[in-house]
């Protein structure tokens, strides 16, 4: 089943109910209403996208444990990522353009129902925003920070900077 198949085989209301229960139940009503509208718009956008992705990629759903301090009990969470079948590697999905995802096969290792499955995917792909423009902007910021050249600072200038903080 692809992401598009999931969208076509579920109702927006059922999917948003799942999103609400898992992520927004404790939020104020006006905030929930804002997100409900944003997810509704996203749902419609995704249905009409043309695919421009790579068939060797799959949307991969699994469960992971949160990294915690030694004395804390780890909690589990659902992880949505990309699986490259050529290299058998997992990658983050949150900064990928939606047209590259829409017709990818979804591999659900947890046997979630369709509504919870799609809710987790939508939650992950909207981490940085509800439009592809917002996603592209965040991806560019990340790429720019990776490509940024470090500016060396002398030890004396470092010490002056620290002393000016006092």
Single out the residue of 92, 102, 100, 101 nearest to residue 128, CA to CA. Answer: 92
What is the bridge-based pairing of β-strands 106-108 and 57-65? parallel
Q: What is the pLDDT of residue 154?
A: 81
- pLDDT tens by residue, 138-162: 999 988 888 877 777 788 887 887 7
Single out the residue of 84, 81, 83, 103 nearest to residue 93, CA to CA. Answer: 81
Residue whose structure tokens are 């898992």: 22
State pTM to two decimals. 0.84
Q: What is the pLDDT of residue 70?
A: 74
Q: How many CB atoms lie within 10 A of CB 120?
A: 22
What CA–CA distance (Å, rounded) separates 113 from 125? 19
106-108 β-sheet, strand order: 89-92, 76-84, 57-65, 106-108
- pLDDT tens by residue, 81-126: 999 999 999 999 999 999 999 999 999 999 999 999 999 999 999 9
Q: What is the pLDDT of residue 147?
A: 85
Tell me the domain boundaries of the chain.
3-163
Query: 11, 34 in Cβ contact below 8 A?
Result: no
The DSSP result for 118-132, as a single string, is HHHHHHHHTTT-SSH
Q: Evaluate if residue 166 carries a pLDDT over 90.
A: no
What CA–CA distance (Å, rounded) separates 166 from 163? 6
């Amino acid at each position: 089943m692809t992401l598009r198949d999931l969208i076509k085989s579920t109702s927006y209301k059922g999917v948003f109910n799942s999103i609400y229960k898992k992520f927004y139940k404790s939020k104020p009503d006006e905030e929930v209403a804002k997100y409900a509208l944003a997810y509704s718009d996203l749902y419609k956008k995704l249905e009409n996208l043309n695919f421009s992705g790579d068939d060797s990629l799959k949307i991969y759903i699994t469960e992971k444990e949160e990294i915690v301090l030694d004395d804390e009990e780890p909690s589990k969470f659902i992880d949505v990522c990309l699986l490259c079948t050529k290299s058998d590697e997992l990658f983050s999905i949150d900064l990928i353009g939606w047209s590259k995802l829409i017709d990818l096969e979804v591999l659900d290792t947890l046997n979630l129902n369709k509504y919870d499955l799609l809710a987790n995917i939508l939650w992950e792909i909207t981490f940085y925003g509800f439009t592809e423009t917002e996603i592209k902007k965040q991806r560019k910021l990340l790429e720019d920070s990776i490509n940024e050249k470090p500016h060396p600072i002398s030890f004396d200038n470092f010490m002056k900077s620290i002393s000016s903080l006092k």
